[in-house]
Amino acid sequence: MSETILLAVGIYCLAGIVISLLFLVFGIARADHAAKGAGLVFRLTILPGLIFLWPIILGRWLSGRQINQDIHGGDNS
Amino acid sequence: MGHQYQAIQWNRNKAHYDIAIALFALLYTGIFVVIGLQPSETGNTPDPVVLLIRAFGTCAFLLLTFILMIGPLARLSDRFKPMLYNRRHFGVFTFLLAAVHFGLALMWYHGFGPLNPFVSLFVSNQPGGTFPGFPFEVLGLAAFVIMLLMAVTSHDFWLNNLSAPVWKALHMLVYVAYGLLVIHIAAGALLTEKSMLYPALVLVAFLLVAGLHLMTGLQERGHDRLRRALEDKGWVSVSAPQDIPDKRAIIVPLRDGERVAVFRDGNKVSAVTNVCRHQNGPLGEGRVVDGCITCPWHGWQYRMEDGVSPPPFTEKIATYNLKLMNGMIFLDPVANAPGAKVDPVFFDLTEYDESGDAEAV
């Protein structure tokens, strides 16, 4: 039973890693305009949260809803 | 209007704050281990790894206790408000200490057996064993998971993407985590502890957190009652003082058609009628010059505190009473006689200057 739960957690986190990396590379700037041009360190900072909460972010990404549209991108890394 | 994300927002003050916390943690764990390594009366020397586990665990618990005290302390006294600044960095640092405690305990007590360490954690009750069947380590793990979720969502990115109510609800789970930690300690390490010092410290920490929250809750209830009483008497809520532009006013319309200009000069707020004695000019559209309200039409001036023109002039306008309560200015709609002196309402400007720097991580 314990092993099954651990396996499920492992699969969940593995899926989280894959989806998070895809989101950080292809989705984040479109989903949240405040992240446009943000550097690698910022992306690494939010990566752990993405791995744990990836279903929420995946839902946001697929829905196409955007936030912080009043912010124009730039390089703040 | 938001701002573009940065990885971690640091400035001079935040860096000093973070260094102070790190130094405290370093000193605390160092002293804890050095004292713990002294041989006991029976000649036994405790295991250094166990000492490290306890040093990081107790340090994280102490810091979390302090973090939970900051909010109510700041509500009880303005002197503690600067501590609110940078609380998010404080929380993440505390989580990192808890992570070291968790990692060491997992490996030391569960890493050398045939079972997977996580499985072992769920099926055994090391290290105490004096309270069989009670899952004190699982409670610690639950508290750790809550702290983990809080730490990884502490960046503004998460505040924006989870929405403020969801983010706040998630971070309010810190109280659940604290309760779990108190039981984790009481049913774990404290059961094997012979000295009364540690049980007493945990009890004092818990009572401080609970007592301070109870006190501020009662104080808030008192304020709410007073605010309702003021509103029942017809007092009008105006705005937060820092939202009034410096040297300017906001104009408050009253039910009887009268308009009142509420001026701010630095950290002082005063209210006068909106009508200039000269040609009924809109005083509230003027500004404060040399401490005097100055009419935008012809420059007639009135002192903020009593509505009297500075010498050699003698014109007087009506003043109004103000009260500052829970960060909000309230206005008594009954005008004072022209020239009646009213002490300005003072507010703490420094805290608003600091909070202008948005926190992240």
Query: Which tens digit of pLDDT belongs to each residue from A10-29?
Result: 999 999 999 999 999 999 99
Whether residue A71 lies inside any domain: the answer is: no
Whether residues B220 and B309 share a domain: the answer is: no
A9 is a domain residue: yes
Token pair 């804890």: residue: B32
Statement to judge: residues B205 and B112 lie in one domain: yes
Domain boundary among B228, B246, B280: B228
> Please, are residues B283 and B274 in contact by the beta-carbon 8 Å criterion?
yes
In a domain, B158, yes or no: yes
- Helix B164-172 and helix B174-186: axis angle, to 10°? 10
- Is residue B7 in some structural domain? no
Same domain, B139 and B194: yes
A–B CB contacts, 8 A cutoff, strictly below:
80
Q: Is A72 part of a structural domain of the chain?
A: no
Are B161 and A6 within 8 A, CB to CB?
no
Q: What percentage of residues in chain B have a pLDDT greater than 90?
A: 60
Domain count along chain B: 2
- What residue numbers bound the domain in which A53 lies? 2-63
ipTM of the complex: 0.90
Is residue B218 domain-shared with residue B257, that is, in the same domain? no
Question: How far apart are alpha carbons A39 and A42 in whole angstroms?
Answer: 6
Interface residue B145 vs chain A (CB under 8 A): no
Structural domain including B304 reads 238-348
Contact assessment for residue B269 and residue B329, using Cβ atoms and an 8 Å cutoff: yes
How remote is the C-alpha of A22 from its chain's centroid?
8
Give pLDDT, residue B44: 76
Q: What is the band of B133 on the pLDDT scale with cuts at 50, 70, 90? A: low
Specify whether B259 is located in the same domain as B160.
Answer: no
What is the residue whose two structure tokens read 């955007």? Answer: A66
Best of A42, A61, A77 to substitute, by most chain B Cβ atoms within 10 angstroms, is A42
In this structure, the answer to whether residues B85 and B221 fall within a common structural domain is yes
Integer Cα distance of B238 and B209 in angstroms: 34
Task: Provide the 8-state DSSP code for B322.
Answer: E
Q: Per the structure block, which two tokens stand in for B184?
A: 């984790």
Same-domain check for residues B106 and B149:
yes
Answer yes or no: is pLDDT of B6 > 90: no
Say whether both B92 and B170 belong to one domain. Answer: yes
Q: Mutating which of A68, A71, A72 best tests the B interface, going by the most B Cβ atoms within 10 A?
A: A68
The 10s digit of each residue's pLDDT in B201-212 is: 999 999 999 999
CB proximity under 8 Å: B 85-144 to A: 116, 118-119, 122-123
Q: How confident is the model at residue B197, as a pLDDT?
A: 86
| Cα end-to-end distance, chain B, whole Å | 19
- Is the pLDDT assigned to residue B16 strictly greater than 70? yes
CATH code at position B244: 2.102.10.10
> Chain A residues contacting B, CB < 8 Å?
2-3, 6, 31-32, 34-39, 41-42, 44-46, 48-49, 52-53, 56-57, 60, 67-68, 70-71, 73-74, 76-77
Give the residue from B325, B341, B326 showing the smallest Cα distance to B271.
B341
Partner residue opposite A34 with nearest CB, options B123, B148, B160: B160
Helix/strand/coil percentages in chain A, nearest 5:
75, 5, 25
| Through-space distance between the first and last CA atoms of chain A, rounded to whole angstroms | 45
For B2, which of A71, A74, A77 is closest by C-beta distance? Answer: A71
B287 and B206 in a common domain = no
- The answer to whether residue B63 sits within a structural domain is yes
Side-chain half-sphere CA neighbours of B320 within 13 A? 27
Q: Is the pLDDT of residue A72 over 70?
A: no
- Shared domain for B221 and B259, answered yes or no, is no
Q: What is the mean pLDDT of residues A23-41?
A: 91
Tell me if B355 is assigned to some domain.
no
The answer to whether the beta carbons of residues B173 and B179 sit under 8 Å apart is no
pLDDT higher than threshold 80 for residue B227: no
Of A34, A56, A57, the CB nearest to B3: A34
For B302-310, the CB contacts below 8 A with 24+ separation are: B302/B272, B304/B263, B304/B265, B304/B268, B304/B270, B304/B272, B304/B344, B305/B270, B305/B341, B305/B342, B305/B343, B305/B344, B306/B339, B306/B340, B306/B341, B306/B342, B307/B272, B307/B273, B307/B338, B307/B339, B307/B340, B308/B339
Give pLDDT tens digits for B233-268.
889 989 889 889 999 999 998 888 889 999 999 999
Domain total in chain A: 1
